[in-house]
Amino acid sequence: VIRLYVTLRSPFARKVRIVLHEKGLAHELLPVDLGARDAEWFADNPIGKIPVMDLDGVRIPDSTVICETLEDRFPTPPMYEPDRLRCRILEELCDAAAEQTVVAFFARQRGDAAGAERAMATVDRVLTHLAARRASGDWPPGFGIADAAAIATLGYLELRHGWGWRDRHPALAAWHDSLAERPSVAATVPVLG
Ligand SMILES: N[C@@H](CCC(=O)N[C@@H](CS)C(=O)NCC(=O)O)C(=O)O
């Protein structure tokens, strides 16, 4: 059985959850209270972050490592192009934007407006780049890891920072909304708490 340690707001956990849904893999979600992680949690997972996937008793950290492991073990339907490089690069861009979205959120919370602005500038650069690549057709065909990572990032950005990104990136917003009914996307909409 596949167990996934998550929070229900995490963009990285959502990327993995979308992949599990797309591949039709039954899994159990185990919500982690990040404010109450104990020594046992860190003993198994010294990085401490979620998501962590327990697959056949092996604990696997990091959403990117988890998704590639799922692809290798359960190749159908594929989430990567046969040459994985373009997918990997797009996934990393989306993950970095998600990470900076988190950084901006905490910077804002402690009143560091300059730090929040710096982080959001990176997010905006990545979104501009993604929009340009989509517009020129430089994007993997079908629904794959780049789509899962981008949707997870955009959904989290909206959850934390509201609707502002939509005005700057209308084509990305339209694409995001066009995938809203896809079962893997609809089933994994992030929630706070
Ligand atoms: N590179 C990691 C990033 C995961 C990550 O940043 N998770 C956050 C939640 S969204 C976390 O666990 N933060 C708690 C911490 O940093 O200790 C991945 O792709 O899984």
Is residue 161 pLDDT above 80, yes or no?
yes
**Alpha helices per DSSP H over 110-137:** 113-135
Q: Using CA atoms, how far apart are residues 17 and 185, in angstroms rounded to an integer?
A: 9
Q: What confidence score (pLDDT) does residue 40 get?
A: 92
CA distances from 148 to 21, 127, 193 (A): 11, 15, 22
Query: What pLDDT shows up at residue 50?
Result: 97
Please classify residue 41 by burial: count the beta carbons closer than 10 Å to its beta carbon, then call 0-12 exposed, 13-18 middle and 19+ buried. Answer: middle
**Is the beta carbon of 103 within 6 A of some atom in ligand 1?**
no
Q: Is residue 10 within 6 Å of ligand 1 at its C-beta?
A: yes
Q: Is cis: bond before 46, omega within 30 of 0?
A: no
Taking the whole predicted model, whether its pTM rises above 0.95 is answered as: yes
Average pLDDT over residues 26-42: 95
Tell me the best of 50, 67, 92 to mutate to test the pocket of ligand 1, counting ligand atoms within 8 Å of each CB and taking the most: 50
The average pLDDT across 145-155 equals: 98
